[in-house]
């Protein structure tokens, strides 16, 4: 069969194995410009079909019985509280992602079969299917069916935005009480979300808030930014809006009236409040300007070296800990610091700083400490030398019901974050968990303890997941469906990437 004849059949083939096979033999370099559109459309229909079948798989996993033998076929009527944990571990998703995908897939397959069929046959794509679920899943069955039957045939030529606006209007027109209920349910899920961008900056946004609150907040930020611009501030208006927005939230502008806020930005004057302190992890070499290795905001991700120095050295009044590591970057000695570098300031209110240093660099710097760091290095070296003499986990007492501060600090630094599969909740915000419960004879020591967030602790105690710790800090999870997942905290210091000749890679 020639390439031309294959392409001529693409528009007639339904999404599935036959279409996938036809697309697999196409050589793009031999396809004419016009025919490439036919190939693109056929592959997009296949993509929609695959998305529908993935949703069906997810919905099926959601109702598998967690108490049944994994080798059998057994289901329940509704997804259980911990059903999404199987998805999260199997696909390396976040807990939020797993919850959202299970909710979407369950609603699509069980409540909107016409939309599922449209996605499965390639009539609509996945973004449009998500819009249908968003607006229709909570409606009565008769209303869902009537709207789908009316709208689906028109949908292929509509954009996602047009579809969303049309469905929203239909929902409001046909049942204003239901529309109000949908709004209130969404409002109950209002949240603030922050994340790091690939360029080293960050994004902060609030979602599912009342529209009038959103409008009022935007107006206030815009008016303050325009007042600053009118007063002669050289920054762009969008930059000023962002600076005002953060200043209102992080405490910098707390207690200032409009005139004082303007004066603060124009003269970089003293504010009524300090920015909130945060948890930051930093290699000592970075703070000493010996390297430009990134720091880390636990739970968020890496930040550039200048941001790391600026943040860490502005939190003199916060809690400071240290971690001395071996050549692989794993923890040797944790400890609390009472000393501070002499040039650190209290620009931020509170916060937490974790200093990371290899044993080799500690020995080197202790011989000739940099100015301002003498007391800090002496304190770290003294505690590390004590550890070398004893080789014991700090303050370990197997008989205790709860871990000591030293043991808790040790597992915080060793585990880095919750040791549930794929969880990124910082260890500081998690709980110390006995791998073998204390009530069943489990000792309170580092070989039987680790950091778990409340949700993943419940997976073990209520969600029918099993947890083992065959080596200190190395955990094995077994899910109700019989899958095994291994977790271990990342090295405290991630070794730099090198070539086989131990030279930095060329860039």
Give 167-206 pLDDT, tens digit per residue.
Answer: 988 888 877 887 788 788 889 989 999 999 999 999 999 9
pLDDT value of residue 44? 96
Of 337, 296, 298, residue with least CA distance to 317: 337
- For the CA atoms of 355, 357, 359, 363, the dihedral, rounded to the nearest 10 degrees, stands at -90
Long-range CB contacts (< 8 A, 24+ apart) of 296-303? 297/196, 298/416, 298/417, 298/426, 298/427, 298/428, 299/417, 299/424, 299/425, 299/426, 299/429, 300/194, 300/195, 300/196, 300/202, 301/195, 301/196, 302/196, 303/196, 303/200
Q: Is the pLDDT of residue 507 over 50?
A: no
Half-sphere exposure at residue 148, Cβ-oriented, CA atoms within 13 angstroms: 28
DSSP state of 121: T
CA 217 to the chain's CA centroid: 26
Across 237-242, average pLDDT: 94
Q: Where are the domains positioned within the chain?
A: 34-187, 193-267, 279-390, 417-488
Mark residue 477 as left, alpha or beta (left: phi above 0; alpha: psi -120 to 50; beta: remaining).
beta
**Higher-confidence position of 47 and 404:** 47
> What was the pLDDT predicted at 268?
67
> What residues does 452 pair with on adjacent strands?
431
- Mean pLDDT along residues 465-483: 95
In the chain, what percentage of residues exceed pLDDT 70? 95
Distance, in Å, from the CA atom of 99 to the CA atom of 114, rounded to the nearest integer, reads 23
Residues above pLDDT 90, as percent of the chain: 72
**Does the pLDDT at position 151 exceed 90?**
yes
Contact criterion met (CB below 8 Å) for 337 and 376: yes
The answer, yes or no, to whether residue 106 has pLDDT greater than 90, is yes
Most confident of 307-321, 376-390, 484-498: 307-321
What's the pLDDT tens digit per position in 244-259? Answer: 999 999 998 988 899 9
Q: Once rounded to an integer, what is the mean pLDDT over residues 395-418?
A: 86
For 52-64, b/e burial (b = at least 16 CB within 10 A) is beebeebbebbbb
Which has the closest alpha carbon to 111: 87, 147, 76?
147
- Average of per-residue pLDDT across 149-176: 90
pTM of the full structure: 0.78
Residue closest to 421 by CA, chosen among 84, 80, 194, 67: 84
The Cβ-side half-sphere exposure at 469, using a 13 Å CA radius, reads: 22
Ramachandran area for residue 464 (φ above 0: left; ψ -120 to 50: alpha; else beta): left
State how far the Cα of 264 lies from the Cα of 273, in Å rounded to an integer: 11
Neighbouring residues of 391: CB distance < 8 A, sequence distance ≥ 6: none
What pLDDT, on a 0 to 100 scale, did the predictor assign at position 428? 86
Q: How far is CA 5 from CA 9, 18, 36, in A?
A: 6, 14, 14
């Amino acid at each position: 069969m020639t390439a031309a004849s294959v392409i001529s059949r693409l528009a007639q083939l339904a999404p599935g194995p036959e279409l996938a096979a036809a697309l697999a033999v196409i050589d793009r370099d031999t396809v004419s410009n016009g025919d490439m559109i036919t190939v693109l459309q056929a592959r997009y229909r296949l993509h929609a079909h695959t998305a529908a079948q993935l949703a069906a798989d997810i919905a099926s996993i959601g109702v598998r019985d967690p108490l049944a033998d994994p080798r059998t076929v057994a289901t329940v009527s509704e997804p259980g509280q911990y059903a999404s944990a199987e998805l999260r571990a199997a696909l390396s998703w976040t807990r939020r992602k797993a919850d959202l995908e299970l909710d979407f897939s369950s609603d699509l397959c069980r409540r909107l079969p016409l939309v599922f069929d449209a996605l499965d046959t390639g009539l609509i794509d996945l973004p449009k299917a998500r819009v249908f679920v968003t607006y229709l899943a909570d409606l009565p069955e008769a209303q869902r069916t009537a709207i789908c039957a009316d709208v689906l045939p028109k949908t292929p030529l509509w954009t996602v935005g047009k579809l969303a606006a049309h469905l929203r209007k239909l929902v409001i027109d046909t049942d204003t009480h239901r529309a109000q209920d949908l709004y209130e349910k969404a409002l109950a899920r209002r949240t603030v979300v922050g994340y790091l961008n690939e360029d080293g900056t960050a994004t902060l946004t609030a979602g599912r808030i009342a529209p009038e609150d959103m409008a009022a907040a935007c107006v206030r930020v815009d008016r303050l930014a325009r007042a600053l611009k009118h007063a002669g501030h050289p920054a762009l208006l969008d930059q000023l809006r962002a600076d005002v927005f953060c200043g209102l939230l992080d405490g910098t502008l707390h207690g200032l009236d409009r005139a004082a806020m303007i004066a603060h930005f124009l003269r970089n004057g003293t504010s009524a409040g300090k920015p909130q302190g945060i948890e930051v992890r930093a290699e000592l070499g970075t703070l000493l300007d010996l390297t430009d290795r990134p720091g880390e905001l636990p739970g968020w991700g890496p930040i550039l070296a200048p941001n790391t120095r600026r943040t860490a050295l502005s939190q003199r009044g916060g809690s400071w800990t240290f971690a001395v590591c071996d050549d692989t970057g794993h923890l040797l000695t944790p400890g609390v610091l009472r000393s501070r570098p002499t040039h650190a300031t209290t620009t931020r209110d509170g916060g937490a700083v974790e200093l990371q240093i290899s044993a080799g660099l500690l020995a080197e710097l202790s011989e000739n400490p940099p100015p301002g760091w003498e007391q800090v290095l002496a304190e770290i070296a003294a505690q590390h030398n004590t550890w070398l003499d004893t080789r014991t986990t700090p303050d370990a007492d197997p008989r205790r019901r709860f871990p000591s501060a030293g043991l808790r600090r040790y597992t915080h630094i060793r585990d880095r974050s919750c040791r549930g599969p794929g969880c990124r909740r910082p260890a500081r915000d998690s709980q110390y968990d006995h791998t073998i419960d204390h009530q069943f004879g489990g000792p309170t020591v580092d070989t039987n303890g680790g950091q778990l967030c409340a949700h993943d602790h419940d997976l073990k105690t209520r969600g029918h997941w099993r947890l083992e710790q065959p080596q200190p800090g190395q955990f094995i999870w077994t899910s109700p469906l019989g899958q095994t997942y291994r977790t271990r905290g990342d090295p405290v210091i991630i070794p730099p990437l090198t070539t086989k000749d131990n030279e930095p890679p060329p860039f």
